[in-house]
Amino acid sequence: MEPVVLKEKMQQVLSFIKAQEGVEYADVRSNYIITENCSTENMKVQSLSSAKNLGYGIRVYMQGSMGFAGSQDFENMEATAKIAMEIAQATRLTQKHPVKLAPKPVVVASYATPIEIDPFTVSKEEKLGLLFEAEALMREAAPQLFRTQGNLMFRHEVKTWADTDGGFITQDLYEIGGSISAIAIGKGEMQLRSYPNSAGGNFATAGWEFIKAMDLPGNAARVGREAMALVEAEECPSGIFDIVIAPSQLVLQIHESVGHPIELDRMLGYEAGMAGTSFLDSVEPGKFRYGSEHVTIVADATAPGGVGTFGYDDDGVAAQPIEVITKGIFHNFLSSRDTAAVIGKPSNGTCRADGWGRIPIVRMTNISLMPGDFTFDELIGGIEDGLYLDVNRSWSIDDRRLNFQFATEVAYEIKQGKLTGKIYKNPIYTGITPVFWGSCDGVGNPDFWRMMGVANCGKGEPGQVAHCGHGSAPARFRQVKVGVADV
């Protein structure tokens, strides 16, 4: 739909809604999403798909209750608005407390992801050729591999938003990512190595230049060799160890044990039935020690390249950096307009939906562990007997985000401040969130810091998948339980 026509239709339906008795506020959001995915397995095309999706959603607040309805029929937007208003009226029957919205400025603006090369202009032949090249190099380095895989994913979203206050925002957003992996089988088990990360790889708001810089072929031989080496490797020892964790694993640690607990809707109990709550439900911001003085974490929706980077959230609030944890002290939750009003604060712009047919909820942006002063050699050098853990393989954490267990693809042995070259398979470490972050006594400096993206964060009912970023350098943690045996 032409932008001028869409704007006119959105303003017409908002005028209609605003004229109805009892309406306090409304917004309408249109999402036009184009996706393309390609994957290979064992030197064959595994999947090649593309899709387009266009629709809109309308939120209406009436007498302290909210109603939402979505549709792909742009010719009958008033009918959709009526459904949203009927739902708002119906929800008043079970209303315990009227919904209030934190104030925000009226914004008329636009935002676009900075890109150099539009990935949708790159041919499918070139994309598949890159994956085949990486697969061939993995197999050349390790001919006994059971399986090699590669995948690339691309997303382009044109989002248009308007509200009854007079706000109007357009955003042109690109996301891109991919990975390679090698699977080896032997001695009755399977071992996996991935690059640059597991769970689909690494993602960014960027163009094709991000895939080129990732250099999948340049890392393929190492990935193949390490997968085979893990089959012959010893089981990771159990015990209490000092460990250094690579950014590829720390991003998930940050995501699960910091990102989710600081979502204000979880703290308020709104997500209790589906995603869980938060152990922060009884703490006072500014007074609770979340970690050591080395732990400073910021949520920043303006961070260059982060998958959680945008111009404005789905409440029409500007993207912004948020002080979450400073030198170990917890300061702020992530909030939307409706949740922020409960605690008497303005929204900090972290309300998003994954498409036109879903209600926006509090979602992570880019939640990052800020760099420290250590070189990698200094982090390793401070350990007499320990492990360096790389790339997540599996995880588990309770619904309050307090007790966790993470497994990584590989552990590298550290002895007398040096990596020995020995690797272990099946490493697992466990902990309690504030105790674990309290054991951090060093974070790598900016030279070792990098942003990574997670494209599969589930939350909400009906379920939604959010895309969020996490920045980190390697970090050192003292006296962490490793393995499954009692120690």
Q: How far apart are CA 262 and CA 2, in angstroms?
A: 39
Concatenate the DSSP letters of all residues of 412-425 into one string. EEEETTEEEEEEEE
Residue 456 CA to its chain's centroid (Å): 7
The encoded tokens of residue 259 equal 């990102």
Backbone phi and psi for residue 64, each to the nearest 5 degrees, phi listed first: 80, 10
Phi, psi of 434 (to 5 degrees): -70, -30
CA-only gyration radius of the chain, Å: 24
Residue with tokens 């490493």: 427
CA dist 188 → 184, 210, 223, 232, 407 (Å): 11, 38, 21, 11, 19
The C-alpha atoms of residue 428 and residue 238 are separated, in whole angstroms, by 9
CB 448 within 8 A of CB 398: no
pLDDT tens for the 487 residues of the chain, in order: 788 899 999 999 999 999 999 999 999 999 999 999 999 999 999 999 999 999 999 999 999 999 999 999 999 999 999 999 999 999 988 888 899 999 999 999 999 999 999 999 999 999 999 999 999 999 999 999 999 999 999 999 999 999 999 999 999 999 999 999 999 999 889 999 999 999 899 999 999 999 999 999 999 999 999 999 999 999 999 999 999 999 999 999 999 999 999 999 999 999 988 889 999 999 999 999 999 999 999 999 999 999 999 999 999 999 999 999 999 999 999 999 999 999 999 999 999 999 999 999 999 999 999 999 999 999 999 999 999 999 999 999 999 999 999 999 999 999 999 999 999 999 999 999 999 999 999 999 999 999 999 988 999 989 999 999 999 999 999 999 999 655 4
Name the residue ranges covered by the structural domains of the chain: 3-232, 235-482
Q: What gap in Å lies between CA 84 and CA 164, rounded to an integer?
A: 15
Separation CA 304–CA 146 (nearest Å): 38
pLDDT value at residue 485: 53
In Å, how far from its chain's centre is CA 309?
Answer: 10
Other residues' Cβ atoms within 10 Å of the Cβ of residue 312: 21
Q: Does domain 3-232 have CATH number 3.30.2290.10?
A: yes
Chain centre distance of CA 87:
31
* Rounded Cα–Cα distance for residues 149 and 181 (Å): 5
Write the DSSP symbol of residue 258: I
| Residue partners of 351: CB distance under 8 A and separation at least 6 | 313, 314, 315, 317, 335, 336, 337, 360, 361, 362, 363
Per-residue pLDDT, 1 = 78
Q: Is the pTM of this model over 0.75?
A: yes
